[in-house]
Amino acid sequence: MILGLQLIAIIFALIMIYLAYVHYSRGELNGLEILSWMTIWILTIVIVIFPDLLRTFTQTFSISRVFDMMVVGGFIVTITLIYLAYVKTNRIENTLEKLIRTEALAKMNLPERKLRKNVQKKKGHTA
């Protein structure tokens, strides 16, 4: 029998599957990302419906309660996602910095710089 909390978790997972599909259809997620998110949310639904499946894993790893294993697993997943977000943010930051630097250097070589050179030459001749 499905309890109220299980029903809420299933509804949440279904909403997340829908949102993942929407982002995929907009082109914001690639094929590997949508596959990963679908797998995560479908596994979540299976675990919520059949929580006894995790008892085998808890006994294998000598964890006393299923909840403890889920908390540890949640920490592992959270830390991994934070690390990946950090790496991606640094990569974007470095790319943006290089883009801005090349854009600024390109603007320095525009006619304004040539105009300044001409003004400096004229000042040198008149002095």
Q: 66-108 and 53-60 helices cross at what angle (nearest 10)?
A: 90
Residues in Cβ contact with 48 at an 8 Å cutoff, skipping those fewer than 6 apart? 6, 9, 10, 13
Closest CA to 31 of 20, 45, 42: 20
Residue 39 in any domain: the answer is yes
Helical segments of the chain, H only: 4-25, 31-49, 53-60, 66-108, 111-126
**pLDDT for res 117:** 61
pLDDT greater than 90 at residue 99? yes
Q: Tell me which of 1 and 6 has the higher pLDDT.
A: 6
Residue 60 in any domain: the answer is no
Q: Quote the CA–CA distance of 13 and 41 in Å, as a whole number.
A: 5
Q: Quote the CA–CA distance of 36 and 88 in Å, as a whole number.
A: 17
118 and 82 within one domain: yes
Residue 118 in any domain: the answer is yes
Residue 71 belongs to domain spanning: 65-127
**By the 8 A CB rule, do 69 and 63 touch?**
yes
45 and 76 within one domain: no
Residue 73 in any domain: the answer is yes
Digit-coded pLDDT (tens) for 17-58: 999 999 999 999 999 999 999 999 999 999 888 888 888 888
